[in-house]
Amino acid sequence: MAKAPTLQTCPRCQSNKLMPQLQVLDNGMYSIGDLRVFFGYSNPKALLRKGEVFGVLRATICGECGLAELTVKHPSALYLAWQKAQAKARER
């Protein structure tokens, strides 16, 4: 699995003061702590345990202009899970 390329310089101001892979916090009451993106259900017809597929966000932030780039952990695996969730959602 190819590792995602990381920014070396800021695409907006060309600074090299980048802070990579920062945790994006979700402090909601029932949160696991990380802000996440929802990609769909692996088993949408189930009443319980629908198999929610989430990706954990990470931010790379420029220490000069503040530009923030968000990425998810494990994008290749998430793409496969998203494709399966899309197919399952179309099933009747």
Contact footprint for Zn ion (CB under 5 A):
10, 12-13, 15, 62, 64-65, 67
Closest CA to 56 of 38, 36, 40: 36
Min CB(26)–Zn ion separation in Å: 25
Between 20 and 33, name the residue whose CB sits nearer to Zn ion.
20
Cα–Cα–Cα angle for 59, 81, 8, rounded to 5 degrees = 25
Task: Give the span between the Cα atoms of 57 and 14, in whole angstroms.
Answer: 23
Min CB(46)–Zn ion separation in Å: 45
Min CB(57)–Zn ion separation in Å: 19
